[in-house]
Amino acid sequence: MSKSKIEKLQYLYPEDIYGYSHDLSENEVDFLLKLRETLEKELYPVIDDHWKKELFPMEAFKKITDLGIMTDPSLFEGRENKLKTSEIFNLFRLYELNRMDSSIGAFTIVHGGLAYSTVLIGGSQEQIDYYAPKLASYEWHSCFGLTEPLHGSDIAGGLATTAELQGDKWVINGEKKWIGGAATADVLPIFARDVADGQIKCFMVPGGTPGLTVDKIDGKISLRLIQNGHIKMNNVQVDKTARLENINSFRDVAKILYTTRADVAHLATGLHAGALANTLKYVKEREQFGKKISQFQLVQEKLARMQANCVTSLALSHRLAQLQEQGRYEEVQSSLAKMNNAYRLRETVALGRELLGGNGIIVEHDVARFFVDAEAAYSYEGTHEVNSLILGRFLTGKGAFV
């Protein structure tokens, strides 16, 4: 007898005690089952080795993208003219990936969130037709070249990379830092300030363009699998057609950022679930004082707090996805979800690490990965402080950024 959708979801997400995943379609649930199977078979066995060596498991990742995580026809039943899957599915796709490993989830967000959204929001119809299919299918890998060595939170006013139109070419000079996937990107969206009008524009720079170099950032304690790059551009030339026509100011860039900020809220939610699942596995097997430690009151109290953090984060992510799907989505909503989910994540992973004792700092026990990756989730795609100030501005009507 085949299992019902609810039975499949109970297997996938036992922590979803309010049933937010029930909004997924049958096709989406079946796809997530395939994704879970592929993650466990292809990715999980190689995570630890790649984590230690700071390498990205490209072969295993290709097995994941070959499933068609952005393009499988079953995900577009009833939405045949859309360029993106449903937002509810996007939530649980990211939830699933980050429940396994945050580097994989972060790479997916950079490529399928930031880079893809840059094209959809910033490109002309001709540019969308050219770039979007190649990115959605993962035929081309991409990244998001915004932040710089000296400018992160203040990038709106401080962006220093320049672009100058010389004849039929744009000439780009400057540096970008913390750019995930830059070294292997087939095309790099690079944001630069037009010297003619001072406004921020975006340029699709092919990987390997003369004058473009990417140095890997080594020695990270967090997101060790994903390859973050320090990009340097010395008189990099691209054709006029490489400029995305609908990005003409930081206001346009902000639309991309707060759209993808929702993805990072979902990333944090998936990390809650991964930390909880791996902690539960451990405490149900570990014995102390003659019985499984899962039977002790203090252990169960910590597990209950982890569960509460997980489900409240999922609630915010779920509502955010609903609003996105309905087209009633604003910056303050994504800032609140990202701020809260990442803030609570620090507690969740700390509780998990506590429950594993000394084993909580050993990568082979998995919870350690979630513990260190939570620090990156707390800081990127809008720091806790910046998102707090976005909410503060909403509450008081006064900006307090500077």
Tokens 């295993």, residue? Answer: 60
Residue-level pLDDT at 401? 87
Per-residue CA distances from 221 to 5, 56, 224, 361, 370 (Å): 39, 15, 6, 12, 11
Terminal Cα-to-Cα distance of the chain (whole angstroms): 62
Kindly list the structural domains of the chain, giving each domain's residue range(s) and its CATH number in brackets, ordered by start. 5-136 (1.10.540.10), 155-242 (2.40.110.10), 250-395 (1.20.140.10)
CB–CB of 104/61 below 8 Å?
A: yes
- pTM across the whole model: 0.95
Residue 107 three-state SS: helix
Residue pLDDT, tens place only, 80-134:
889 999 999 999 999 999 999 999 999 999 999 999 999 999 999 999 999 999 9
Tokens 């026509």, residue? Answer: 245
How big is the chain, counted in residues?
402
Per-residue CA distances from 62 to 53, 89, 139 (Å): 19, 20, 10
Of residues 145, 152, 155, 139, the one with CA closest to residue 180: 145
Residue-level pLDDT at 1? 60
Tokens 């902000």, residue? Answer: 254
Residue pLDDT, tens place only, 288-347:
999 999 999 999 999 999 999 999 999 999 999 999 999 988 899 999 999 999 999 999
Of residues 215, 210, 137, 149, the one with CA closest to residue 182: 215
Residue 372, Cβ neighbours under 10 Å: how many? Answer: 19
CB–CB of 102/223 below 8 Å?
A: yes
All residues at 6 or more sequence positions from 265 whose CB lies less than 8 Å from its CB, including other chains: 313, 316, 317, 320, 334, 337, 338, 341, 342
pLDDT at 12 over 80: yes
Question: In the Cβ-directed half-sphere of 340, how many Cα atoms lie within 13 Å?
Answer: 19
Mean pLDDT of 157-182: 96
